[in-house]
Every structure is written in structure tokens, then in C-alpha cells.
Amino acid sequence: MTSERGDAELPEGWRVDGEQLVHEAELHGWRLTVVSVLGAPWDGPSSLRIDPPADLDAVAGTDGITAELMRSISMAEIRRTTKELRARLGYAIDGARSGVVLDRVETEQDYALMSREYVRLVEQGYRSPITRLATAWGMSRNTISGRIRRARAMGFLDGPPGKPADRLTAKSRRCLEREEHEPSRDRSDRE
């Protein structure tokens, strides 16, 4: 079963199969399959499999799976792409599905949704909710920090003066209530 999000938005060789992110590639004639469990509490692969091709003559000149073949697997690139795709699909590192992943924060609705995710992490006791959001969404800490500062300046977040924001404002709550009653087509596509 393939994700309702469709695989068109995923890079070539990547697909969602149920609750798994799957990467398939050819590796010197061998078939590489890397599986990552979307709900896992880590960003890296859960399993790696190397299979010979259906035509064994295609790899007859090799000695099977060798150290050279194993070294040709770019695990750093696979981990980076897995992390990025998990964030795009809305899966936080702690294994919990985040309510929203915002590639862009432009509208009042976007700021309210981002503020809600930030406050949720504050309420859960995370010491650095900005770092947590940046990691979960696959963005830089500076990007998230700037967005949180703007959200506070625009009246979406509130907190003690000189301290990090720790609660939603009435403006945020109104936007979120509108979202619940009238979800926009663009936002539902990104969630």
C-alpha cells in the first residue's frame, strides 16, 4: 500500500509503503533496499537489504557482496534524505507524528499552526523547543528561531518579558479555531 500523499513529491527511488519509507537503488548490478520506519524514534534506516538481480549472469564476475560493494553505499546520503523526507511527511524524531510541518510560514494561519507546535513542545518540557522543531522539520535552528521571534512580534505567542514565549495568544487561538472549521485546501495538502 502506498501513501495517500503520493510518491510524486518524493525523490526518484523513494516511496512510502504504509508506515515505512523505502529507498530502492541499483548498486553495481545488485538491488539495494533501505527501509525506515516512519514512526521510529530515530531518523536513520531500520533495515538494509542487498539482493542479486534476477539475471545472475549480470553479477557473475563479482565475488558476491564484498567490502567494496558495501563501501559504495552512501549511508550518509541515505540518512540525510531519510531525515529530510520524514520531516516533510510530518514525523518527529521522538516517534510522535507532528501535527504540522511548515516548509514556509507566510500567512496568519501558518504562524498560528507553528506557534501551536512550539507551545506543545514547551508544555511537554523540552528544554530547547526551537532545536526540536528544527530537527523534526529538517530546517536550521536559525530559521525556526527567526520564525518564533516573528510569531511573538506579530502577536501569536506570549510569555514573560525577557523569557521565551510559553503560551498562545487569543489571536492564535482564533486562527486555529478557523482552521478547525474551515481547513484550507493548501494546508490540508501539507499536513
Q: Which of 74-78, 151-155, 158-162 is modeled with the greatest confidence?
A: 151-155
Tell me what the pLDDT averaged over the chain comes to: 80
Tens of pLDDT, residue by residue over 51-73, are: 987 777 776 677 778 888 888 89
Instruction: Indicate the pTM of the whole model.
Output: 0.50
**pLDDT at position 151:** 94
Residue burial 102-120, b: 16+ Cβ < 10 Å; e: rest: beebeeebbbbbbbbbbbb
Tens of pLDDT, residue by residue over 96-126, are: 444 556 677 888 988 998 999 899 888 888 8
Average pLDDT (83-105) is 65
Pseudo-torsion of CA 87, 187, 182, 145, nearest 10°?
Answer: 60
Q: Residue 2 pLDDT > 60, yes or no?
A: no
Average pLDDT (164-187) is 78
**pLDDT at position 191:** 43
